[in-house]
Amino acid sequence: MNEPDPPDTVLAVRCQLGDTDAWEILVRRWHPRLWRFIARMLSDRTAVEDVLQSVWLRVVRTLVQLREPEKLTAWLYGIARRTVADWLRKHYRYPPADEVGEIPDWDRGIEMLIAVDSVEMGLGRLHPSDREAVVLHYLEELPVAEVAEICGVPPGTIKSRLHRARRVIHSTLN
Protein backbone atom coordinates (compact mmCIF):
# COMPACT_ATOMS: atom_id res chain seq x y z
CA MET A 1 0.00 0.00 0.00
CA ASN A 2 1.35 3.42 -0.96
CA GLU A 3 1.79 5.92 1.80
CA PRO A 4 0.63 9.46 1.10
CA ASP A 5 3.36 12.00 0.45
CA PRO A 6 4.41 13.85 3.60
CA PRO A 7 3.52 17.53 4.13
CA ASP A 8 5.93 20.21 2.91
CA THR A 9 7.28 20.86 6.40
CA VAL A 10 8.35 17.23 6.82
CA LEU A 11 9.74 17.17 3.28
CA ALA A 12 11.86 20.25 3.97
CA VAL A 13 13.39 18.70 7.08
CA ARG A 14 13.99 15.37 5.34
CA CYS A 15 15.65 17.15 2.42
CA GLN A 16 17.85 19.10 4.84
CA LEU A 17 18.95 15.74 6.23
CA GLY A 18 19.88 14.53 2.73
CA ASP A 19 16.94 12.19 2.09
CA THR A 20 16.96 11.66 -1.70
CA ASP A 21 13.40 10.25 -1.70
CA ALA A 22 12.20 13.46 -0.07
CA TRP A 23 13.99 15.52 -2.74
CA GLU A 24 12.22 13.52 -5.42
CA ILE A 25 8.83 14.19 -3.83
CA LEU A 26 9.65 17.87 -3.30
CA VAL A 27 10.65 18.36 -6.93
CA ARG A 28 7.65 16.38 -8.22
CA ARG A 29 5.31 18.49 -6.07
CA TRP A 30 6.87 21.91 -6.64
CA HIS A 31 8.31 21.83 -10.16
CA PRO A 32 4.93 22.40 -11.91
CA ARG A 33 3.92 25.16 -9.48
CA LEU A 34 7.21 27.00 -9.86
CA TRP A 35 7.13 26.56 -13.63
CA ARG A 36 3.63 28.09 -13.81
CA PHE A 37 4.68 31.02 -11.63
CA ILE A 38 7.78 31.74 -13.72
CA ALA A 39 5.94 31.24 -17.02
CA ARG A 40 3.35 33.78 -15.97
CA MET A 41 6.04 36.27 -15.05
CA LEU A 42 8.13 35.89 -18.22
CA SER A 43 7.00 35.86 -21.82
CA ASP A 44 10.10 34.09 -23.15
CA ARG A 45 9.49 30.33 -22.81
CA THR A 46 13.18 29.50 -23.22
CA ALA A 47 13.93 31.83 -20.35
CA VAL A 48 11.32 30.07 -18.20
CA GLU A 49 13.30 26.82 -18.37
CA ASP A 50 16.59 28.61 -17.67
CA VAL A 51 15.13 30.52 -14.73
CA LEU A 52 13.49 27.39 -13.33
CA GLN A 53 16.80 25.54 -13.50
CA SER A 54 18.44 28.43 -11.62
CA VAL A 55 15.67 28.29 -9.00
CA TRP A 56 16.25 24.60 -8.35
CA LEU A 57 19.99 25.16 -8.17
CA ARG A 58 19.46 27.85 -5.52
CA VAL A 59 17.04 25.58 -3.63
CA VAL A 60 19.55 22.71 -3.57
CA ARG A 61 22.34 25.01 -2.42
CA THR A 62 20.41 26.85 0.27
CA LEU A 63 17.70 24.56 1.67
CA VAL A 64 19.92 23.74 4.64
CA GLN A 65 19.65 27.42 5.61
CA LEU A 66 15.84 27.29 5.87
CA ARG A 67 15.25 27.73 9.62
CA GLU A 68 11.44 27.60 9.52
CA PRO A 69 10.38 24.58 7.44
CA GLU A 70 6.71 25.55 7.87
CA LYS A 71 7.46 28.55 5.62
CA LEU A 72 8.67 26.40 2.71
CA THR A 73 6.00 27.76 0.35
CA ALA A 74 6.97 31.39 0.92
CA TRP A 75 10.66 30.47 0.80
CA LEU A 76 10.36 28.65 -2.57
CA TYR A 77 8.29 31.41 -4.16
CA GLY A 78 10.74 33.95 -2.74
CA ILE A 79 13.62 32.20 -4.48
CA ALA A 80 11.62 32.01 -7.72
CA ARG A 81 10.71 35.69 -7.37
CA ARG A 82 14.31 36.80 -6.86
CA THR A 83 15.52 34.61 -9.74
CA VAL A 84 12.89 36.09 -12.07
CA ALA A 85 13.89 39.59 -10.91
CA ASP A 86 17.54 38.80 -11.66
CA TRP A 87 16.60 37.64 -15.16
CA LEU A 88 14.46 40.74 -15.75
CA ARG A 89 17.29 43.02 -14.68
CA LYS A 90 19.50 41.38 -17.30
CA HIS A 91 16.85 41.26 -20.04
CA TYR A 92 14.45 44.12 -19.32
CA ARG A 93 11.90 44.10 -22.15
CA TYR A 94 8.53 45.32 -20.88
CA PRO A 95 6.82 47.44 -23.55
CA PRO A 96 4.64 50.33 -22.43
CA ALA A 97 0.96 49.40 -22.22
CA ASP A 98 0.12 51.33 -25.42
CA GLU A 99 2.60 49.21 -27.43
CA VAL A 100 0.99 45.88 -26.57
CA GLY A 101 -0.78 44.40 -29.61
CA GLU A 102 -4.48 44.02 -30.19
CA ILE A 103 -6.40 40.93 -29.19
CA PRO A 104 -6.10 38.45 -32.06
CA ASP A 105 -9.23 38.16 -34.21
CA TRP A 106 -10.30 34.64 -33.19
CA ASP A 107 -13.28 32.87 -34.63
CA ARG A 108 -16.24 34.47 -32.84
CA GLY A 109 -17.57 31.00 -31.92
CA ILE A 110 -14.85 30.47 -29.32
CA GLU A 111 -15.37 33.34 -26.90
CA MET A 112 -13.67 31.47 -24.08
CA LEU A 113 -10.37 31.50 -25.96
CA ILE A 114 -10.74 35.22 -26.47
CA ALA A 115 -11.31 35.77 -22.77
CA VAL A 116 -8.27 33.66 -21.86
CA ASP A 117 -6.15 35.50 -24.41
CA SER A 118 -7.38 38.84 -23.09
CA VAL A 119 -6.44 37.90 -19.55
CA GLU A 120 -2.99 36.81 -20.74
CA MET A 121 -2.61 40.08 -22.64
CA GLY A 122 -3.80 41.93 -19.54
CA LEU A 123 -1.13 40.15 -17.49
CA GLY A 124 1.41 41.27 -20.07
CA ARG A 125 0.38 44.89 -19.56
CA LEU A 126 0.92 44.80 -15.81
CA HIS A 127 3.95 46.17 -14.04
CA PRO A 128 6.07 43.20 -12.88
CA SER A 129 5.20 43.75 -9.20
CA ASP A 130 1.46 43.86 -9.99
CA ARG A 131 1.72 40.77 -12.21
CA GLU A 132 3.57 38.95 -9.46
CA ALA A 133 0.79 39.73 -6.97
CA VAL A 134 -1.89 38.54 -9.42
CA VAL A 135 -0.06 35.34 -10.25
CA LEU A 136 0.62 34.44 -6.63
CA HIS A 137 -2.82 35.39 -5.28
CA TYR A 138 -5.26 34.49 -8.05
CA LEU A 139 -3.43 31.87 -10.07
CA GLU A 140 -1.37 30.15 -7.37
CA GLU A 141 -4.21 30.74 -4.88
CA LEU A 142 -2.06 32.03 -2.03
CA PRO A 143 -3.64 34.26 0.64
CA VAL A 144 -2.80 37.97 0.61
CA ALA A 145 -0.75 37.63 3.81
CA GLU A 146 1.45 34.94 2.27
CA VAL A 147 1.88 36.92 -0.95
CA ALA A 148 2.93 39.91 1.17
CA GLU A 149 5.48 37.77 2.99
CA ILE A 150 6.88 36.42 -0.29
CA CYS A 151 7.14 39.92 -1.79
CA GLY A 152 8.46 41.50 1.40
CA VAL A 153 5.77 44.18 1.54
CA PRO A 154 2.76 44.87 3.79
CA PRO A 155 -0.56 43.16 2.96
CA GLY A 156 -2.07 46.56 2.12
CA THR A 157 0.49 47.00 -0.64
CA ILE A 158 -0.51 43.65 -2.12
CA LYS A 159 -4.17 44.66 -1.97
CA SER A 160 -3.33 47.89 -3.82
CA ARG A 161 -1.37 45.99 -6.46
CA LEU A 162 -4.25 43.55 -6.93
CA HIS A 163 -6.75 46.41 -7.26
CA ARG A 164 -4.58 48.20 -9.82
CA ALA A 165 -4.05 44.95 -11.74
CA ARG A 166 -7.77 44.17 -11.82
CA ARG A 167 -8.41 47.59 -13.39
CA VAL A 168 -5.81 46.98 -16.11
CA ILE A 169 -7.04 43.47 -16.86
CA HIS A 170 -10.66 44.60 -16.81
CA SER A 171 -9.87 47.34 -19.35
CA THR A 172 -8.31 44.66 -21.57
CA LEU A 173 -11.45 42.53 -21.42
CA ASN A 174 -13.70 45.42 -22.50
Q: Is the pLDDT of residue 105 over 50?
A: no
Q: Which amino acid is at 52?
A: L
Rounded CA-CA distance 7/33 in Å is 16
Sequence ranges of the domains in the chain: 1-93, 96-174
Cα distance between the two ends of the chain? 53
Rounded CA-CA distance 97/106 in Å is 22
CATH class of 1-93: mainly alpha
Q: What does the pLDDT read at residue 124? A: 80
pLDDT tier, 1 (very low <50, low <70, confident <90, very high otherwise): low
pLDDT tier, 125 (very low <50, low <70, confident <90, very high otherwise): confident
pLDDT tier, 173 (very low <50, low <70, confident <90, very high otherwise): low
Q: Which fold has domain 96-174?
A: Arc Repressor Mutant, subunit A (1.10.10)
Contacts of 96 (CB under 8 A, 6+ apart): none
Mean pLDDT of 132-157: 90
For the chain, the average pLDDT equals 82
